Amino acid sequence: MAGPTGAPDRISQCCYQHALTKDAIFCGECGKPLLRCMAYQECGGLVGEDGCCSVCVRPQLFLDKDAVTDVKAGGVLVLPLVFYNASSIARPLFVTDVWVREGDGPRRRIELPWKRLDAGGSNRLTVQTGALERQGRHGIEITFAAATNYFMREERFAFTSSLGLEVEQGGSLVINQTINASGVGSGGDTVYAPIRLETMADSGRKVADTGGKAAELGLQRADNFEASQGIRGYGDGALKGSVVSRGARIVWKGFGDQTPAAGPITTGDSILAIGRGKAVSEGGDNHLQLLAYGADGKLDEQLSQAISRRHIELFIQSGRLCARVTGSAGIKIGDHKHGADDAIALINHGDIINVLPKFPEAVGLQVRMRANHGQIDEITITRVPALPEANSR
């Protein structure tokens, strides 16, 4: 059984093959950019625009075999849920929040007695519904947020399971679930076997007839929910509710004859390193070499020395552009100074990253993004001051 919405099938096998070639940035067969998981070194996983690695992030949700409805208490349904981490590498998943929604009612946050879900491990959570009507259909939606970590980085996602409950005339309760498969090449909707809760005549209770096993509940990525709750994307400012696509093109401007080609982040660690060290194209290991120039256009050797060889790392994390400072001089964004020991800095539209806080006019990176229907597909990073296109040095 595949993970959420059959995720492992979304990335073509040809891309995995071509990604094995170090420094490969496009698949030689289908031409798609190779977007590697932040933990690629460990998992070998590729991600789509949604940023979710199906090797690292494979939650599964089950309804345990002892689900019961308590008829005496007015038809309350007790759902014993089992969260399972099906990651094939030893990557834990952190379930941070669980919400339950009945019908069109509000989402209710369920208190979690646990958080960490080790690979191959499971945790239980019992959820109780309100009183069910005797007849008719009821919808129950179980949504949860989960995080995966790799060193200092973290990706967060939300998944949801929609259950349709139907009380049959004989009093039996049937749980139906249909997943709208949206993956490319999928064979349409996935229909799971209904879960039947039969009446036990003597006790007046109903128990799930799941053949003595826990029944798997279908999971779907809840991308709208992620954006509206700030689980992914920007939670405030002009880009509130918008999510940077993992495949967003980075467009560089004002870097003179050193301007890198525009494109998504396709490096092995999904990081763009920037600093005084040489660019990859010149035998170094930075994506972009950053040096300071004087007003006369000549290289300022002394000021350039204040820029560390690897000064900033840019990457997309949980649908936001982020920067980690690795340079000793730090950076400044607006009035905030960020040093190498500080948490990852969130980069917003309009921000100017001052590469040398003590000399803010020396080298700046101005970041611009625009959202289209809540998705950011392009990020423009402009050097201020800009270097002349044909820079002579």
Residue 37 binds Zn ion (CB under 5 A): yes
CB of 36 to Zn ion, least distance (A): 8
CB of 147 to Zn ion, least distance (A): 13
Cα distance between residue 198 and residue 111, in whole Å: 29
Which part of the chain contacts Zn ion (CB under 5 A), choosing from 48-56, 122-130, 154-162, 211-219? 48-56
Nearer to Zn ion, 56 or 67 (CB): 56
Nearer to Zn ion, 27 or 163 (CB): 27
- The three-class DSSP label of residue 49 is coil
CB of 323 to Zn ion, least distance (A): 22
Nearer to Zn ion, 10 or 311 (CB): 10
- Candidates 8, 9, 12, 348; binder of Zn ion (CB under 5 A) is 12
Residue 258 binds Zn ion (CB under 5 A): no
Nearer to Zn ion, 254 or 264 (CB): 264
Residue 55 binds Zn ion (CB under 5 A): yes
CB of 379 to Zn ion, least distance (A): 23
Which part of the chain contacts Zn ion (CB under 5 A), choosing from 49-57, 196-204, 207-215, 291-299? 49-57
- Candidates 19, 25, 34, 56; binder of Zn ion (CB under 5 A) is 56
Nearer to Zn ion, 154 or 209 (CB): 154
Are 167 and 135 within 8 A, CB to CB? yes
Are 250 and 382 within 8 A, CB to CB? no
> How many chain residues are in contact with Zn ion, going by CB under 5 A?
13
Nearer to Zn ion, 10 or 324 (CB): 10
Phi, psi of 252 (to 5 degrees): -105, 135
Q: Looking only at residues 108 through 147 of this chain, which bind Zn ion when binding is defined by CB under 5 A?
A: none
- Candidates 39, 179, 181, 271; binder of Zn ion (CB under 5 A) is 39
Q: Looking only at residues 236 through 255 of this chain, which bind Zn ion when binding is defined by CB under 5 A?
A: none
CB-based contacts of 196: which residues, under 8 Å, 6+ apart? Answer: 172, 173, 174, 175, 208, 209
Cα distance between residue 393 and residue 391, in whole Å: 6
Tokens 């649908």 appear where? 319
From 393, 212, 227, 216, select the one nearest 301 (Cα to Cα). Answer: 393
Cα distance between residue 174 and residue 197, in whole Å: 6
Cα distance between residue 326 and residue 3, in whole Å: 36
- Candidates 19, 34, 53, 356; binder of Zn ion (CB under 5 A) is 53
Nearer to Zn ion, 55 or 158 (CB): 55
- Candidates 25, 43, 322, 365; binder of Zn ion (CB under 5 A) is 43
- Candidates 3, 10, 15, 175; binder of Zn ion (CB under 5 A) is 15
Are 327 and 358 within 8 A, CB to CB? no
Which part of the chain contacts Zn ion (CB under 5 A), choosing from 34-42, 58-66, 107-115, 242-250? 34-42
CB-based contacts of 8: which residues, under 8 Å, 6+ apart? Answer: 2, 54, 55
Cα distance between residue 382 and residue 367, in whole Å: 7
- The three-class DSSP label of residue 359 is coil
Other Cβ atoms closer than 10 A to 62: 18
Residue 45 binds Zn ion (CB under 5 A): yes
Which part of the chain contacts Zn ion (CB under 5 A), choosing from 21-29, 117-125, 284-292, 318-326? 21-29
DSSP 201-258: TTTTEEEEESTTSPEEEP-EE-HHHHHHHTSSSBSSSTTBT-EEEEEEEEEEEEEGGG
From 367, 249, 384, 363, select the one nearest 308 (Cα to Cα). Answer: 363
CB of 264 to Zn ion, least distance (A): 14
Residue 30 binds Zn ion (CB under 5 A): yes
CB of 183 to Zn ion, least distance (A): 15
Instruction: Sort residue 97 into left (φ over 0), alpha (ψ -120 to 50) or beta.
Output: beta
Query: Where on the chain is the footprint of Zn ion (CB under 5 A)?
Result: 12, 14-15, 27, 29-30, 37, 39, 43, 45, 53, 55-56
